[in-house]
Structure 1
């Protein structure tokens, strides 16, 4: 057997970032790295940029992923389409396809295209032929009325195109639990809280060691489609959207009507904002602007779509959220084309905006406890992973339920992928597969 067939691959395909880890039979695990701009990156941004280049008398569509997609998008030298957070489409039956220049892309086409860019930049270590490829999936997919079976069908189709149709699919927090369990030296019942961009997932696991071998027993899982992107939306909804025409009025057939809110709901999912340029929404917004009592705010909204300012807006909102985790008050600032928005935001404001989201997350934690038959007092450790775990209101939720002394965390990006790769080296990796494993 070749050395590569002693390896296992763990893939954490995330809403915002993707990480790939490789483990060997000795339990050594490391992340796949990407050389970009003189840096060695372990995180591959979940983004795609398509652009047209002229070849002879015709046009040919080119594509890049990860940090190269962002680089191409920011250069903006050719007509392009930039797509981010497309994982949120996975379980949506209403999303069938999107047109990119002359071609139509289904979700599985976007995912397989993204993975091909990752393989191209990741080098030879990413060998889909290894027997154990373990791919993370949420406990609960994001989106309205998510279809779990549809999402897994799409995952299998995308990875199958690359030769990984033998892959196993494992709950993402279970991967994080395996990563954390390596440091355990005594029997423990562990709650893993994994906060991604689109979903918050929870798993309760019991770990023990027998004759030096780590053994794990899953006790219960739960998940909800509320996480970092939902918190971003609260900032947009209270600070940005009112300055882009939300709540405004327009005239139609002699009546004065409110501008429909559904255009602003697209800010709840960054992936939808990226699609508005080709969905017909842009044309409708232009018609609304002509009929609006105050057209200027809508014209600014149109500029955000037309000039692909969604990514810059996303970064400004994300930076504000991070700042509010460190400070009691910060200034939000976004500027591009005709749009110039700034506002002071306090942590108290932000916590008021996300209060209902935090309440629903708390209910999902309670659901995991109920599913496992374990009380909060029986949890030995709580392992937090994901950037949203730094939000003070979220951390306070866990402190109040479990106590500060039981909380722990590790690398916010790599833990899931590392754990998934380690599951591939476990005695029975198929035991952990759900919704499409083999």
Structure 2
């Protein structure tokens, strides 16, 4: 059917696709000077402005990055906010003293996404197929809470909403390229979660081309790999492992500040009076106050985005090189390090073992052995990490591995799924 929008609202990037009514779908290409094709960064930048909503103006996507870079000290840059969708511990974020719930940020984000679509979304679709992870990120995630928040986020559209596991979207997209029957495993490596789906694909023209068998997932993915780099290269320079004096005792500096700093979704919110006052008191009592001073300076001067940009560059470089230079310079702070790929792989080794266990759980749920998988489709940005590719090569053999459309296949497949006569089979 036409009038179907497939939306992959991702932790790092968001991609949208429209069904064409003839069995195909096309990606929404965003328009404007800052546009980056079909990829819309899942980020929002806020700044104080009288004409803005509640006295605060905002931008989203690559335009949010541009606004932040233009005036970092007068703005708040929020990225990866999807990771708090299922968290009951997150109620609201205070931005310039104003409370923002998850659904508030989500609505503002979607508002800008539509505005930058160059009129392609001015005619509201009849049906929106929204991708969701199999398992949400965070500790003790609540899927029902996430669904409630997503519903509120999209309520301005006033159309049918259907939720489909993200890897099923990628599976449907990949199946549209196959010319013979196959049992496929899709592994989707996003920013916040890694998800798997097993789908049986019939020959082209069959009444039921795709049949989903099972899905599984885990809240570990690209952001967790970034966190490992920050933990090993950055946090030791910011006081992690250090001590402070309290009532005549020498105690280890609490880890909560470092946990927040290493998490994109929380780092942006550390620049508030309460947290900064606590850090200044900690600096005063620290055995070595200089590292805590560096953390304060990075937070006060809004250096989170350039710092994590440097982390991302290192991670991408290690996907093609055996070693790469990590370099960050900002606010008179420089961090340099020559990182070997083997070091990075050691840092994420436990994460990879848990990802592999989640994959095995999916195969078990489907009642399918590794030998019965004809094709493995890897998607998502972190699928390009050599250690991840090696995991699947060992388990399935390199001749069964396929890649492509790492950032766009989910949205494309979701739009195609929207044309299914019986959506109940696909919805989560």
TM category (shorter chain) comes to over 0.9
Return closer, same or farther for 1:51/1:76 CA change in 2, 3 Å cut-off. Answer: same
Return closer, same or farther for 1:80/1:210 CA change in 2, 3 Å cut-off. Answer: closer
Return closer, same or farther for 1:123/1:70 CA change in 2, 3 Å cut-off. Answer: same
* Distance in 2 between residues matched to 1:268 and 1:431, nearest whole Å: 39
* Distance in 2 between residues matched to 1:210 and 1:47, nearest whole Å: 39
CA-CA distance at 1:430 after TM superposition: 3.6
2:177 maps to 1:183:
yes
Deviations 1:188-212 (A, max 9, x none): 1000000000000000000103645
* Distance in 2 between residues matched to 1:162 and 1:116, nearest whole Å: 10
8 Å Cα contact 1:384-1:408 kept in structure 2: yes
CA-CA distance at 1:161 after TM superposition: 2.8
Q: Which residue of 1 aligns with 2:106?
A: 111
Deviations 1:164-222 (A, max 9, x none): 4x210000000000100011111110000000000000000001036455521111110
Q: Which residue of 1 aligns with 2:150?
A: 155
8 Å Cα contact 1:251-1:291 kept in structure 2: yes
Identify the range of structure 1 (37-46 vs 206-215) with the bigger mean alpha-carbon deviation: 206-215
Paired residue secondary structure (1:280): helix
Moved over 6 A (4+): none
Normalising by structure 1, report the TM-score: 0.94
* Distance in 2 between residues matched to 1:117 and 1:9, nearest whole Å: 16
Where in structure 2 are the equivalents of 1:281-300 lying within 5 Å?
281-300=275-294
2:323 maps to 1:326:
no
Paired residue secondary structure (1:26): coil
2:4 maps to 1:8:
yes
Paired residue secondary structure (1:9): strand
Q: Which residue of 2 aligns with 1:368?
A: 362
Paired residue secondary structure (1:325): coil
Where in structure 2 are the equivalents of 1:5-154 lying within 5 Å?
6-37=2-33, 41-53=37-49, 60-76=55-71, 79-127=74-122, 129-154=124-149
Give unpaired runs (5+ residues) of structure 1.
none
Return closer, same or farther for 1:348/1:48 CA change in 2, 3 Å cut-off. Answer: same
8 Å Cα contact 2:34-2:66 kept in structure 1: no
8 Å Cα contact 1:88-1:269 kept in structure 2: no
* Distance in 2 between residues matched to 1:38 and 1:310, nearest whole Å: 21
Deviations 1:389-411 (A, max 9, x none): 11111111100000000000111
CA-CA distance at 1:282 after TM superposition: 2.0
Q: Which residue of 2 aligns with 1:427?
A: 421
Count of residues paired in the alignment: 426
Give the RMSD, CA atoms, in angstroms: 1.7
Determine which of 243, 254, 261 is the counterpart of 2:255: 261
Normalising by structure 2, report the TM-score: 0.96
Paired residue secondary structure (2:268): helix
Return closer, same or farther for 1:21/1:360 CA change in 2, 3 Å cut-off. Answer: same
Return closer, same or farther for 1:405/1:237 CA change in 2, 3 Å cut-off. Answer: same
Q: Which residue of 2 aligns with 1:384?
A: 378
8 Å Cα contact 1:24-1:425 kept in structure 2: no
Q: Which residue of 1 aligns with 2:162?
A: 168
Determine which of 387, 391, 400 is the counterpart of 1:393: 387
* Distance in 2 between residues matched to 1:430 and 1:286, nearest whole Å: 54
2:229 maps to 1:235:
yes
